[in-house]
Amino acid sequence: MLLTEKNTSERFIKPFNSNLSPNQQLLPLSATINGQNHLEIGGCDVVELTEKFGTSLYIVDEQTLRISARQYRDAFKQFYEGESQVIYASKAWCCMAIASILASEGIGFDVVSGGELYTTTKALEMSDLGTEKIQNKIYLHGNNKSVAELELAIDSQCKIMVDNWLELETLARLSAAKQTPVSILVRLTPGIECHTHEYIRTGSIDSKFGFDANQLDAVFTFLKEQPFLNCIGLHAHIGSQIFELQPHNDLAAVLADWYKKALDYGLPMEELNVGGGLGIRYTESDDPPSIEEWVQTVCKAVTIACQDRDIPLPKLISEPGRSLVGSSTVTAYTVGGRKVIPNVRTYISVDGGMSDNPRPITYQSLYEVVIANKMTCANVETVTIAGKHCESGDILVKNIDLPQTKPGDILVVLSTGAYNYSMASNYNRLARPAAVLVNEGEANLIIRRETYEDLVKQDLLPSRLV
């Protein structure tokens, strides 16, 4: 097949259907091609969005985000007979607008720092939801929580995932000093391997997270003696961007064994947190399970594990992050210069890169790309998309087939809602991009573009240098 005969970006577009699992789509569910041959998301022309808000630009489809949340929430209600709660792994992208949307859909929050906890509660205070409605839906994670973070969590009345002995002993001291009961879950390392990048594999024995199984008896014994620590559950997480379902069956069995043992110790167990980890589609060849398939597998596995051990169904907690937000968002860039190395490679440069999407250089992550102003044009060349940073490794996508591009075209990288803005930096003193929320033809700025003044506002000059 000649390059000019290959399919164009039209193949990524599907008629809107709220039953489609967003994590299996490359574009947001609302994506269409309008009469100008432009990509349209949430009823907004992407080219016009870039003219108004500039590039690089994160574009978030509110409809896709809400449908993802509803599919998780409704699937747990359908497939699990006990109580359940979906909590968003905020590290995927923590900002007030996303927190407010998800809270309005009944989603809770997994936060991993004082900053994420503050952002989430601030969003709820500014909305009409109110923190009191979701205080029991916020869980603080982290393998090295500071005393200040633990105190903030206690004062916020959120639940705390205890990761190690120092944290456990510190919480015992703080709760006693405050005379305040604290609800905790113990995180354990289940020893389960998944086929995913080694940096995002967290369930294996060799992991920085959680107590090893051989420590749990001592942990349970310690907890029995603590008057202000209420151990209400267990937690484990086996990794991220997982396409397999079998490891979740294995996890349920491991967690149920230790849950039963904790009950035998007399601990007030009532919750079982199975983490998250469902992958999303980044490339055409990716084939992740749907949200419903993942939830059904988890619910069935936990139910069978509890029945086999004759223990009551606990409240089932899950922590999707990437699969909630990843496919809701694209990143738009403006095409700049071109470098052609005959018989080797053609580089196309864009006005962003590793500072707004560090995943390719960090995890060797792959993406699909479209040209927003040439959606039905045939692919006629193979190019490599280069970022603008002073790093040879600042490559967003290697060897991808695209229509002929020219400076000023709008290049869009798909599925960038997870770990793009949240890992963004000011490397080379680039200002971080703006983010815009689109829905039914309306576009609202949710994160302002940083300015040069923002880049220096934390800098200080000693008086002797002035």
Domain limits, the chain? 3-59+331-456, 80-320
- Radius of gyration over every alpha carbon of the chain, rounded to an integer in angstroms: 23
Q: Using alpha carbons, list the distances in angstroms from residue 70 to 75, 84, 113, 406.
A: 8, 13, 26, 41
Q: Which residues are catalytic?
A: 390
Predicted local distance difference test score (pLDDT) of residue 5: 46
Predicted local distance difference test score (pLDDT) of residue 130: 58
Half-sphere exposure of 421 (CA within 13 A, CB side): 30
Contacts with 387 (C-beta within 8 Å, 6 or more apart), sequence order? 349, 350, 352, 353, 354, 355, 394, 395, 396
Predicted local distance difference test score (pLDDT) of residue 129: 65
Q: Using one digit for the tens of pLDDT, what is the confidence trace for 129-144?
A: 655 556 689 999 999 9
Residue 290 DSSP class: P
As a whole number of angstroms, the distance between CA 49 and CA 193 comes to 43
* CATH class of the domain defined by 3-59+331-456: mainly beta
**Beta strands in 101-255, from DSSP E residues, in sequence order:** 108-111, 138-140, 159-162, 182-187, 229-235
Predicted local distance difference test score (pLDDT) of residue 199: 35
Which residue ranges in the chain fall short of pLDDT 70? Answer: 1-7, 129-135, 192-207
Predicted local distance difference test score (pLDDT) of residue 192: 67
Predicted local distance difference test score (pLDDT) of residue 377: 95
CA-wise closest residue to 320 among 386, 248, 259, 271? 248
Q: What is the phi/psi pair of residue 57, to 5°?
A: -145, 125
Half-sphere exposure of 6 (CA within 13 A, CB side): 13
Domains 3-59+331-456 and 80-320 share a fold: no
Predicted local distance difference test score (pLDDT) of residue 131: 54
Q: Which residue has the tokens 């009823």?
A: 43
Predicted local distance difference test score (pLDDT) of residue 332: 98
* CATH class of the domain defined by 80-320: alpha beta
Name the average pLDDT for the chain.
Answer: 93
